[in-house]
């Protein structure tokens, strides 16, 4: 755990010890809500556990307004615990819809992130017991709903959007309005028909080329990469603790002083991730951790839409649900790749044989490593010192640099 995270824990515990104990009776959610078990658990714990009750009360009392130039105000200011119960009940069966040139995929993710925006009590709620376990159960129950047939009703709307580029994907039943997908998650994690045709690897025979691992917004990560013994810097100059990010991997210290790139996936794009380099896969691991808790979401998702832009803080992802890979490229050193489930369902799925790697396996640039189900998704690439200067991303003639707004002039 980082110094900053422990500071939050200590502050929270001190406040709870001196706080006044309060209780509030709350109604149970509807019997047909797919997330009723987790939400009812939240309610019963709030009603019976004095410390948890006061933690949530302190979280509501400490809500912070978003910056004046941010696109949304904090919806939790002035709200109470029953509002959280109602929010989770609505979120459980929420399906993202298209609105003009954008979509509502981040709506509830953003709203819930503002619950713990610059709020140590909110962060403690989602990252410490019992709140952590309750919210993880909520995520699993919502995930089960997104795996169900009931979640398909919005798919026809998405298939009409040209940004989906459905001609590139395997559609189970092209004559059906919902494409024959059995769930929204199946649609969300759809496969390409022919990756070599629709997503060709640039100059595959040149081992010094690094490829984008998937469709994403690419930015350099500004944080210094440090080891476990380096003091965490103050806000505005955070350090990325590579030992924690790679869950204590024996390879972690190779990246101290190195550089990193982020690759943030958008809801309407391809959600499988591939190897950006060739070499020998020497380690692969899924790290069980909280699904929520980025304390500065407005900075992470700015108004301009460049999610994770230069200056954004990546340090909290040391505590998020994630999976990582380490590839030995030989003469270019090791490359670490971290697939992070940002919020909501946060499923980090590994393909075989990486889901149970017992010995090194050769991989070629472009090979599929895994995929995400519905939720915010992030892929981080980390390089050894003096191997790659992760400043501006370099592209070649013909590479995509952006897309037009397909809704204009329609």
The per-residue pLDDT for 178 is: 96
Residue 21 has pLDDT above 50, yes or no: no
Residue corresponding to tokens 């009603």: 47
End-to-end Cα separation, the chain, in angstroms: 51
Q: pLDDT at position 345, please?
A: 59
Report phi then psi at 95, rounded to 5.
Answer: -125, 130
Measured CA to CA, the distance from residue 241 to residue 250 in angstroms comes to 14
The ranges assigned to domains in the chain are 3-149, 204-383
The per-residue pLDDT for 400 is: 86
Phi then psi for residue 241, to 5 deg, are -80, 100
Residue-wise pLDDT for 322-355, tens only, equals 999 999 999 999 999 999 887 665 578 999 999 9
Indicate the pLDDT class of residue 147, thresholds 50, 70 and 90: very high
> Among 108-112, 114-118, 318-322, 353-357, which is the least confidently predicted range?
318-322
Residue 101's pLDDT is: 66
C-alpha to C-alpha distance for 107 and 33, rounded to whole angstroms: 20
Query: pLDDT grade, residue 407 (50/70/90)?
Result: low
The CA distance from 372 to 213, in Å, is: 13
What interhelical angle do 120-127 and 50-61 show, nearest 10?
A: 140
What is the predicted pLDDT for the residue at 198? Answer: 95
What mean pLDDT do residues 372-396 have? Answer: 88
Q: In this model, does residue 25 exceed pLDDT 90?
A: no
Average pLDDT over residues 370-378: 83
The answer to whether the beta carbons of residues 402 and 215 sit under 8 Å apart is no
> In the predicted model, is pLDDT for residue 295 greater than 80?
no
Q: Are 101 and 407 in contact (CB under 8 A)?
A: yes
- Reported as type and span, the H/E element at residue 217 is strand 217-220
Q: Which of 146, 46, 54, 49 is nearest to 92 (CA)?
A: 146
Residue closest to 359 by CA, chosen among 262, 252, 280: 280
Q: What is the pLDDT of residues 84-93, one digit of tens each?
A: 999 999 999 9
Mean pLDDT of the 242-256 span: 94
Q: Give the separation between CA 397 and CA 378, rounded to whole angstroms.
A: 26
Q: What per-residue confidence (pLDDT) applies to 99? A: 76
Which of 136-145, 221-230, 319-328, 349-358 is predicted with the least confidence, judged by mean pLDDT? 221-230
Note the pLDDT of residue 48: 96
| Least confident stretch, 24-38, 184-198, 291-305, 332-346 | 291-305
Bridge partners of residue 214, in order along the sequence: none
What pLDDT does 149 receive? 97
């Amino acid at each position: 755990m980082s110094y900053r995270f422990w500071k939050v824990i200590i502050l929270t515990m001190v406040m709870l010890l001196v706080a006044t104990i309060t209780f509030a009776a709350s109604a149970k959610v509807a019997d047909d809500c797919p997330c009723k078990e987790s939400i009812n658990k939240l309610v019963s714990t709030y009603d019976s556990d004095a410390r948890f009750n006061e933690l949530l009360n302190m979280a509501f009392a400490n809500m912070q307004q978003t910056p004046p130039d941010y696109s949304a105000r904090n919806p939790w200011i002035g709200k109470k615990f029953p509002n959280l119960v109602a929010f989770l009940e609505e979120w459980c069966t929420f399906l993202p819809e298209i609105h003009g040139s954008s979509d509502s995929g981040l709506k509830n993710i953003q709203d819930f992130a503002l619950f713990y925006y610059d709020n140590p009590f909110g962060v403690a709620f989602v990252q410490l017991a019992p709140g952590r376990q309750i919210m993880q159960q909520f995520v699993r129950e919502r995930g089960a709903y997104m795996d169900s047939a009931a979640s398909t009703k919005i798919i026809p709307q998405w298939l009409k959007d040209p940004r989906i580029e459905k001609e590139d994907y395997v559609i189970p039943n092209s004559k059906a309005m919902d494409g024959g997908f059995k769930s929204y998650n199946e649609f969300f994690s759809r496969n390409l028909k022919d990756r070599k045709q629709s997503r060709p690897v640039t100059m595959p025979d040149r081992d010094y080329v690094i490829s984008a691992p998937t469709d994403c917004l690419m930015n350099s990560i500004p944080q210094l990469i440090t080891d476990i013994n380096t003091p965490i810097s103050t806000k505005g100059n955070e350090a990325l603790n590579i030992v924690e990010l790679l869950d204590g991997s024996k390879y972690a210290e190779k990246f101290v002083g190195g550089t990193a790139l982020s690759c943030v996936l958008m809801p309407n794009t391809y959600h499988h991730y591939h190897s950006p380099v060739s070499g020998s896969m020497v380690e692969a691991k899924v790290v069980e951790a909280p699904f929520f808790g980025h304390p500065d979401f407005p900075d992470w998702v700015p108004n301009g839409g460049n999610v994770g832009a230069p200056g954004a803080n990546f340090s909290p992802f040391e505590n998020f649900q994630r999976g990582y890979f380490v590839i030995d490229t030989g003469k270019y050193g090791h490359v670490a790749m971290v697939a992070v489930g940002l919020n909501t369902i946060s499923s980090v799925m590994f393909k075989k044989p990486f889901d149970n790697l017992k010995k090194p396996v050769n991989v070629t640039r472009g090979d599929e490593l895994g995929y995400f189900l519905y939720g915010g998704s992030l892929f981080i690439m980390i390089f050894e010192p003096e191997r790659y200067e992760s400043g501006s991303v370099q592209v070649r003639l013909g590479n995509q640099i952006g897309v037009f707004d397909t809704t204009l002039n329609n």
